[in-house]
Amino acid sequence: MATFSKSVSNLRSSEIRDLMGLANKQGIILFSGGMPDNDLFPLKELDIIYHNLSNKEKQIAMQYCPTNGLPQLLDSLSTFLRKKGLPVDANRLLITTGSIQAINILVKTFVEPGDPVIVENPCFIGAMTVFKSYQADLIPVPLTPEGISMEGLKTQIERTDIKPRMIYITPNFHNPSGILYTQDNKKALIDILTNRNIPLVEDDVYSDLYFYEEDRQHLKSIKEINPEGIDVCYTGSFSKILGPGLRLGWMLVPEEIYTKCELIKQTLDACSPSYTQMLAHKFLESGMVYDYVKKVRGEYKKRAAVMVEVLKAHMPESVTFNVPRGGFYIWLQLPEGSDATDVLNKAIEKGAVGVSGKTFDPHETVNDKIRLSFCNTSEDKIRKGIPLIAEAIREVLM
């Protein structure tokens, strides 16, 4: 039998993907997937875009493009990011095959097997999978309602027995907790990291999906602040604001980091798909993106409100949860010591499913939380499915 590498041997299938496969087969109400609803995709707009492409543009779309991205998309995406306040002109932009590839490239740039990487706890499962594939030593720091724990972060950074090679955060409508870092938390993070020579990866795929105008002041990214003395590597994606099937993301990084990242991308896939890059470029250039994002933002806000309403009506008092102000997720806190896997197995029997908390724990131990996604489920199904989750909790834990 073939001998597998250590990096492959450490990989495990994501519980989210396993549950989605089970749910799709059995017709279970799905609260597990963090993807847009198929019915919300801008199909008419994309049809118009394609049919209005010139023959020359279609030829470009079918050909290889430069490794760093289709020049047209680099221009239109730069304009889009500038409007968000990001320091595009002081950094370099690289188009990637989804934001996961951006994270993958950055880890490959900085991390050797056994190197410590500081992550939030809980943490996005996709990023953790990448870190583990490079055999990184994950150092979890707890999240608070304001953001990553400053006390916990300072403790880990000042340890004498480790030298973190990278810090990874998702500050805007965090996956899975749904929290929005406060500006005070971001400023404190900057103070701690200044001149530490530890790259900060700021993963920001949800900031356009805010529900309340008053929260826009809290969405200013660390990359936008652009602090001196910190290498901030900003990653984003079209997956939540256009469609994950495009497989397009990006990173905005300092010049010296960009040079290494572009070389690494050449070894992975030479370039991201020119075809979808052309579609994304036209979607940005035309301005369609702004009306579309406003539309889906309103839809997700309505679904989140329905889920909160039904949770309040049906959940036991011992179960608490965040009220989302954007993004895709609600994070249930079960009574301490509960096993979310037992709850979800019972919920599957009843016809609904979420994702257990240990999926997002870097050490896969704490399992008294459940992530519920409202993004891919209609209001009717939310009203039907949440009571089933509540019934499962009562039967297993009460």
Per-residue pLDDT of the chain (398 residues; tens, 9 = 90+): 777 677 666 666 555 555 555 555 678 999 999 999 999 999 999 999 999 999 999 999 999 999 999 999 999 999 999 999 999 999 999 999 999 999 999 999 999 999 999 999 999 999 999 999 999 999 999 999 999 999 999 999 999 899 999 999 999 999 999 999 999 999 999 999 999 999 999 999 999 999 999 998 889 999 999 999 999 999 999 999 999 999 999 999 999 999 999 999 999 999 999 999 999 999 999 999 999 999 999 999 999 999 999 999 999 999 999 999 999 999 999 998 899 999 999 999 999 999 999 999 999 999 999 999 999 999 999 999 999 999 999 999 87
332: β partners: 321, 370
Return residue ranges of the chain for CATH 3.40.640.10. 44-288
At position 287, the amino acid (one-letter code) is G
Strands 137-144 and 116-121: parallel
What separation in angstroms does the CA of 139 have from each of 110, 167, 204, 205, 247?
16, 9, 21, 23, 29
Q: Name the CATH topology of 44-288.
A: Aspartate Aminotransferase; domain 2 (3.40.640)
Pair of tokens at residue 205:
């795929």
Return residue ranges of the chain for CATH 3.90.1150.10. 6-42+291-397
DSSP type of residue 271 = S
Residue 12: CB partners within 8 Å, gap ≥ 6? Answer: none
269 with 97: CB under 8 angstroms? yes
6-42+291-397, superfamily in CATH? Aspartate Aminotransferase, domain 1 (3.90.1150.10)
